[in-house]
Amino acid sequence: MPRRVAIIATGQTKHAARRLDVTIAELITEAVTRALEDADLTLRDIDAVLLGNMEPFEGFLFPELWAVEAWGGYLKPSVKFNTGGTVGTTTAIAAYYYVASGIYDTVMAIGFQKQSEGHTQTAITTVGDPIWERSVMAGAIGNFAVMATTYMHESGVTEEQAAKAAVKARRNACLNEYAHLQMPDITVEDVLKSEMLAYPVKRLDMCPQSDGAVAVIFAEESKAVRLAPRPAWIAAVATAHEQQYMGDSPKRLAEMRSLIAASRRAYQYAGITNPRRELDVAEIYEVASFAELAMYENLGFCAKGEGGKLIDAGVTELTGELPVNPSGGVMSTNPIGATALIRVAEAALQIMGKAGRRQVEGARTALATGYGGNAWTDVIILTREKP
Amino acid sequence: MSGEEKTLRVPFLLDTEYRYAVGQYGARFFTELRDHARLMGVRCPECGRVYVPPRPVCGICYRELHEWVEVGPEGTIVGWTVVRIPFIDPMTGEQRPVPYGFAIIRLDGASTSLYHFLDETDERRIRVGRRVRAVFREKREGSLRDILHFRLLEGEDE
Amino acid sequence: MSDWIVRQRIRIPFQYTAGRVLTRFLLGLAERRIWATRCEGCGRVYVPPRGFCGRCWREITQWEEVPAEGEVVSYAVRPAEPPVIFGLIRLDGADTLLVHYLSDVAPADLERVRRVRAVWSADRTGSIMDIAYFAPVW
Q: If you average pLDDT over residues A177-182, what whole number do you get?
A: 98
Q: Could you tell me which residue, A127 or C136, shows the higher pLDDT?
A: C136
Distance from CA of B113 to the nearest CA of C (A): 22
pLDDT digits (tens, 9 = 90+) for A296-352: 999 999 999 999 999 999 999 999 999 999 999 999 999 999 999 999 999 999 999
From the candidate CATH numbers 3.90.1150.10, 3.40.50.300, 3.40.47.10, 3.30.540.10, the one assigned to the domain spanning A5-119+209-227 = 3.40.47.10
pLDDT-based confidence at residue A189 (cuts at 50, 70, 90): very high
CA-to-CA dists, residue A354 to A75, A175, A176, A243, A370, angstroms: 32, 13, 12, 39, 22
Residues 6+ apart with CB under 8 A from B36: none
Q: Is A385 left (phi over 0), alpha (psi -120 to 50) or beta?
A: beta
- Identify the three-state secondary structure at position B75: strand
B95 lies within 8 A of chain C by CB: no
CA pair distance C49, C94, nearest whole angstrom: 10
Minimum Cα–Cα distance from A126: chain C residue: C10
CA pair distance A120, B88, nearest whole angstrom: 9
pLDDT-based confidence at residue C2 (cuts at 50, 70, 90): low
pLDDT-based confidence at residue B1 (cuts at 50, 70, 90): very low
pLDDT digits (tens, 9 = 90+) for C102-135: 999 999 999 999 999 999 999 999 999 999 999 9
CA pair distance A270, A383, nearest whole angstrom: 9
Whether C53 is covered by a domain: the verdict is: yes
In a mutagenesis test of the A interface, which of C21, C22, C39, C52 is the best target, namely the one with the most A β-carbons within 10 Å? C52
In this predicted structure, the answer to whether residue B116 has a pLDDT above a threshold of 50 is yes
Q: Is C19 left (phi over 0), alpha (psi -120 to 50) or beta?
A: left
CB nearest to B20's CB, from A128, A130, A149: A130
Annotated domain spans of chain A: 5-119+209-227
> What pLDDT score was predicted for residue B62?
95
What's the burial of B3, exposed, middle or buried (CB within 10 Å: 0-12/13-18/19+)?
exposed
Backbone φ and ψ for A251, nearest 5 degrees, come out as -95, 50
Q: Is the dihedral of CA A83, A66, C99, C32 positive or negative?
A: positive
Per the prediction, chain B carries an average pLDDT of 94
> What pLDDT score was predicted for residue B156?
55
Q: Which chains touch B (3 or more CB pairs under 8 A)?
A: A, C
Q: What is the CA radius of gyration of chain C?
A: 18
pLDDT digits (tens, 9 = 90+) for A222-256: 999 999 999 999 999 999 998 889 899 868 888 99
Q: How many domains does chain C have?
A: 1
A136 lies within 8 A of chain B by CB: yes
- Do A371 and A343 contact (CB within 8 A), yes or no? no
CATH code of C108's domain: 2.40.50.840
A60 lies within 8 A of chain C by CB: yes
pLDDT digits (tens, 9 = 90+) for B48-81: 999 999 999 999 999 999 999 999 999 999 999 9
In this predicted structure, the answer to whether residue A375 has a pLDDT above a threshold of 80 is no
CB nearest to A59's CB, from B12, B79, B123: B12
Distance separating the N- and C-terminal Cα atoms of chain B? 53
What's the burial of A147, exposed, middle or buried (CB within 10 Å: 0-12/13-18/19+)?
buried
CB within 8 Å: B8 and C126: yes
Annotated domain spans of chain B: 23-152
In this prediction, what percent of chain A has a pLDDT beyond 90? 89
Query: Which residues in chain A have their CB less than 8 angstroms from residue C55's CB?
Result: 69, 74
Backbone φ and ψ for B94, nearest 5 degrees, come out as -110, 165
pTM of the model: 0.95
Domain that holds residue C25: 19-137
B67-71 β-sheet, strand order:
B50-51, B39-43, B67-71
Of B53, B113, B110, the C-alpha closest to B79 is B113
CA pair distance B97, A62, nearest whole angstrom: 32
pLDDT digits (tens, 9 = 90+) for C54-90: 989 999 999 999 999 999 999 999 999 999 999 999 9
Minimum Cα–Cα distance from B29: chain A residue: A132
CA atoms in the 13 A half-sphere facing the CB of A140: 29
ipTM, 2 dp: 0.93
Whether C77 is covered by a domain: the verdict is: yes
